[in-house]
Amino acid sequence: MEELKQNIIDFYKNYNINISIEKVVEAYQVDRYFIKLDRTNKTRLVNVEKLVDDLSAELGIKNIKFTTDFETGGIVFEIPKKDRKTLYLKDIEYIDSDKTGLQVCFGKDLNNNSYIVNLCETPHLLVAGTTGSGKSIFINSILINLLNNYKKDYLELSLIDPKKVELSIYKNCEQVKEIANNLTDTKQILKNTLLEIDYRYRQFETYNCRNIESYNKKVISTKFPYKIIVIDELADIILQDRQEQTANRKNPLQEQSLESLICRIAQIGRACGVHLIVATQRPSSDIITGLIKANIPSRVAFSVSTKIDSRVILDDRGAEKLTGKGDMLFKMVGDEETHRIQGAYVTDEEIEKAVNQNTNKEEIKRQEAEKMAILQHQREQQELLKQQQEEQEQQRQKAEKERIKQEKSNKRWNTFETICHIIGNILKWTCIILLGGIYLIFKFISDLAKGR
């Protein structure tokens, strides 16, 4: 580390920029070098920033990030660690004892402190980044946080999983109300959510409440649970919906688009406790449209390939400098500053453990009973079908025998007809010949008699 510090100082000294490194703070994914700039030469911060790419090439380290420390007036270099440590879920476990809102731990910040976020304050969250950058693991860590902290009378989850493999493991959890894997089911969930929102607002009006917190305090007997809708892959279902909308554009009874349903929930869902977590691996402007960004103000950006993708997600650059493996930038609504966080790695065993702890035993028994009933019905149908097939086979064999017998009979009859026809022809020609012979004989005798 001392050698690296000296290399940084020497590099800028070659460009007549004098700096000093005051301290180094180690985090999970990066080391932060706090640098004080000597301004005797009237050096500007922009001059230091312009050389960051050259410094990266000189040190042989990718994705060095330049930030400004407004507290000290200095600058900070965030340099990725070569021997990077893994942050596990057990390191960020958070117990919400107060049960105020929906508290989850995103991971560790650059000061190695747990970064706690209240999802009710976000109030909706957009998660984007390239494939393999850590989005799905981040979604799993949020779900495990929620499942471990809140029961079904407090929290209700609706999961939309077009890939069918990421979130289906949670289907038996008591907090999970429904899971959708296709566009039709997704739209139905969103429409039902809008109806539920409308019902909750009518209840708020009846009891003179402004939001779900005041309603649950006033009306203890019929509390409303918080509801979170998680969409694991937005791009897939958005593109499917657009194709369907294009195919049915002449239909006067065409349904609302998926984008309009999502935006409508985002606009009116906060006060009644309905929140969205939307993830996509395609951070492009045709998927993350201006309408979606306007209604989902809190964003999490994982590693992306270009500055343009970073601006699409965060309206700012920086995500292109992330190192992947759960390294993220979080921008809270109303907060101009982005926070760099290291997300936790979640293993399959930890997911299964959380699911088993929150599994609805009665629901599993009901589902197993339904499966057994379905299997029994299928067996009965198979046996009935087998009997029908055997009867049909017997009838077919019987008909085949009758056909063969009829063919043989027809064949004999045809042979007899042929023989009779031949005999008839023979007799006919024999008679003709005999009659002709007799005629000639009588004529001959007649001619002889006349000659005498």
Q: What is the CATH number of the domain that holds 26?
A: 3.30.980.40
Does the residue 75 lie in any domain? yes
Verify that 75 and 96 share a domain, yes or no: no
Verify that 76 and 95 share a domain, yes or no: no
E strand intervals along 55-145: 65-69, 74-80, 103-109, 114-118, 125-128
The DSSP code for 100 is: -
Verify that 327 and 211 share a domain, yes or no: yes
Verify that 128 and 189 share a domain, yes or no: yes
Task: State the pLDDT confidence band at 299, using cuts at 50, 70 and 90.
Answer: very high
Q: How does DSSP assign 373-442, residue by residue?
A: HHHHHHHHHHHHHHHHHHHHHHHHHHHHHHHHHHHHHHHHHHHHHHHHHHHHHHHHHHHHHHHHHHHHHH
Distance between first and last Cα of the chain: 159
More confident residue, 182 or 91: 182
- Domain ranges, residue 119: 89-245+255-359
Verify that 177 and 200 share a domain, yes or no: yes
For residue 58, pLDDT beyond 80: yes
Residues 220-228: what's their mean pLDDT? Answer: 89
Does the residue 421 lie in any domain? no
Distances (CA, A) of 114 to 17, 103, 246, 442: 36, 12, 46, 139
Q: What pLDDT score was predicted for residue 70?
A: 73
Task: State the pLDDT confidence band at 231, using cuts at 50, 70 and 90.
Answer: very high
Task: State the pLDDT confidence band at 164, using cuts at 50, 70 and 90.
Answer: confident
For residue 413, pLDDT beyond 80: no
Does the residue 438 lie in any domain? no
Verify that 120 and 221 share a domain, yes or no: yes
Residues 323-337: what's their mean pLDDT? Answer: 88
Task: State the pLDDT confidence band at 282, using cuts at 50, 70 and 90.
Answer: confident
Per-residue pLDDT reduced to its tens digit, 345-403? 988 888 888 888 888 666 667 777 788 888 888 888 888 888 888 888 888 888 888 88
Q: Report the sign of the C-alpha dihedral through residues 212, 265, 355, 375, in that order.
A: positive
Q: What pLDDT score was predicted for residue 128?
A: 92
Q: Quote the tokens at residue 404.
A: 């063969």
- Select from 315, 344, 359 the last residue of a domain: 359
As a whole number of angstroms, the distance between CA 169 and CA 343 comes to 21
Q: Quote the tokens at residue 19.
A: 């700096």
Verify that 47 and 113 share a domain, yes or no: no
Q: What pLDDT score was predicted for residue 156?
A: 93
What percent of the chain has pLDDT above 90? 24
- Select from 327, 359, 391 the last residue of a domain: 359
Q: What pLDDT score was predicted for residue 423?
A: 87
Verify that 143 and 265 share a domain, yes or no: yes
Does the residue 203 lie in any domain? yes
Neighbouring residues of 54: CB distance < 8 A, sequence distance ≥ 6:
11
Per-residue pLDDT reduced to its tens digit, 99-122? 678 899 999 988 888 899 999 998
Neighbouring residues of 27: CB distance < 8 A, sequence distance ≥ 6:
108, 109, 110, 111, 112, 342
Q: What pLDDT score was predicted for residue 46?
A: 78
Stated pTM of the model:
0.76
Verify that 18 and 124 share a domain, yes or no: no
Does the residue 412 lie in any domain? no
Indicate which CATH number applies to the domain containing 277. Answer: 3.40.50.300
E strand intervals along 164-240: 176-180, 226-231
Task: State the pLDDT confidence band at 140, using cuts at 50, 70 and 90.
Answer: very high
Verify that 109 and 47 share a domain, yes or no: no
Closest CA to 68 of 80, 54, 55, 52: 52
Neighbouring residues of 375: CB distance < 8 A, sequence distance ≥ 6:
none
Verify that 284 and 167 share a domain, yes or no: yes
- Select from 48, 80, 112 the last residue of a domain: 80
For residue 256, pLDDT beyond 80: yes
- The contacts found for 251-260 with CB under 8 angstroms, 24 or more apart, are 255/187, 256/187, 258/183, 258/186, 258/187, 258/190, 259/289, 259/291, 259/292
**Number of residues that make up the chain:** 452
**CB-CB contact of 76 with 86 (8 Å):** no
Query: Do strands 30-37 and 19-26 pair parallel, antiparallel, or not at all (unpaired)?
Result: antiparallel
Domain count, the chain: 2
Residues 240-253: what's their mean pLDDT? Answer: 80
Q: What pLDDT score was predicted for residue 11?
A: 85
As a whole number of angstroms, the distance between CA 415 and CA 404 comes to 16
Does the residue 263 lie in any domain? yes
Give burial (CB, 10 Å; 0-12/13-18/19+) of 219: middle
Is residue 352 classed as helix, strand or coil in its secondary structure? Answer: helix
Neighbouring residues of 231: CB distance < 8 A, sequence distance ≥ 6:
160, 186, 237, 262, 276, 277, 278, 279
Residues 204-232: what's their mean pLDDT? Answer: 90
Is residue 367 classed as helix, strand or coil in its secondary structure? Answer: helix
Verify that 11 and 124 share a domain, yes or no: no
Does the residue 428 lie in any domain? no
Does the residue 156 lie in any domain? yes
Task: State the pLDDT confidence band at 267, using cuts at 50, 70 and 90.
Answer: very high
Q: What pLDDT score was predicted for residue 29?
A: 83
